[in-house]
Amino acid sequence: MHIGIDLGGTKTESIIIDQNGKEIERLRKETPKNYNGTLDTVCELVFYLEKKYQKNCSVGVGSPGALSNETNCIKGGNSTWLNDRPLKKDIELRLNRKIFLQNDANCFALSEAFDGAGSNHEIVFGVIIGTGVGGGLVINKKVINGFNNITGEWGHNQMSVGSNDKWKRHDCYCGKKGCIETFLSGPGFSKHYFDLYNVNLDAKIIQENANNGDEKSLEFVFQYLDYLARGLSQIINIIDPGAIVLGGGVSNMKQIYGNINSKLKKYVFSDTVNTEILKNKFGDSSGVRGAASLGRQSI
């Protein structure tokens, strides 16, 4: 059996699944917002589940940020107490065994590729469009990390320029301007709505207004879809996955799924675009399921 632990900013979730992905039990705890507390919580959850089910399990951890190849420490995570710490090594020392650790976008992609929305495809790209924009690549049900450990980080590529763009290019926290993330994230969506209409609304509210037939919001959603198609076309031109599975708050925008492929044709360098753009199957559970599936992928 396989244990997965998802280190969220407010909740730490753990799951135990069998080799077929069947969920046996799931537990949630408050995330202690300090490093040692995080190590304690991970170990408590593993020991509890292994004792209860009398099994030695593989352990996979989904973490914010990524492991630096240079230092083996977490970098760039929004749970700042983990940054610059050798999280994987410290958990391994405490559990006295090797574990798997991947960032949350890679866990999401693995979960959806293993037995989620993309399970029929050999090459699956998982996209998170929420507070930020990230992604992960899974080929033959294995996470691809890449030479610099940044495979899938398409959110900080530049958004391509259109012929009559209405949306401004904003500064990104990464130091560049006009990153895909500044257009496609939930906060980016809101910010561009403010630019155009001088009204400050949460991305979720704008989507609800569009769903309720508000023409201005609907037109704005379709402008967004054009930018989304430009962003996704960069993934397709380079990787050409069979499926791109969307997660994160903005993936709930229902207009995406019936309309995105016709928009992709404008931007992908191909006469046909049959890539499946899919909503995730496991929603918020994909992170923790993917963490557990890190042990499945190695068998």
Q: Which residues bind Zn ion (CB under 5 A)?
A: 156, 172, 174, 176, 179
Comparison of 87 and 172: residue with beta carbon closer to Zn ion: 172
CA 34 – CA 255 distance, rounded (Å):
40
In the complex, minimum distance from the CB of residue 197 to Zn ion, in angstroms, rounded to a whole number: 25
In the complex, minimum distance from the CB of residue 283 to Zn ion, in angstroms, rounded to a whole number: 26
Comparison of 171 and 208: residue with beta carbon closer to Zn ion: 171
CA 37 – CA 251 distance, rounded (Å):
32
In the complex, minimum distance from the CB of residue 133 to Zn ion, in angstroms, rounded to a whole number: 9
In the complex, minimum distance from the CB of residue 214 to Zn ion, in angstroms, rounded to a whole number: 31
Comparison of 89 and 170: residue with beta carbon closer to Zn ion: 170
Question: Please, where are the H alpha helices in 84-178?
Answer: 87-95, 104-114
Comparison of 93 and 174: residue with beta carbon closer to Zn ion: 174
Locate the DSSP E strands across the chain. 2-7, 11-17, 23-30, 58-63, 66-67, 74-75, 100-103, 123-129, 133-139, 142-144, 243-247, 276-279
In the complex, minimum distance from the CB of residue 220 to Zn ion, in angstroms, rounded to a whole number: 23
- List residues bridging with 23 in a β-sheet: 17
As to burial, measured by CB atoms within 10 angstroms (0-12 exposed, 13-18 middle, 19+ buried), residue 175 is exposed
Cα separations in angstroms, 129 against 15, 22, 239: 24, 27, 19
Comparison of 45 and 133: residue with beta carbon closer to Zn ion: 133
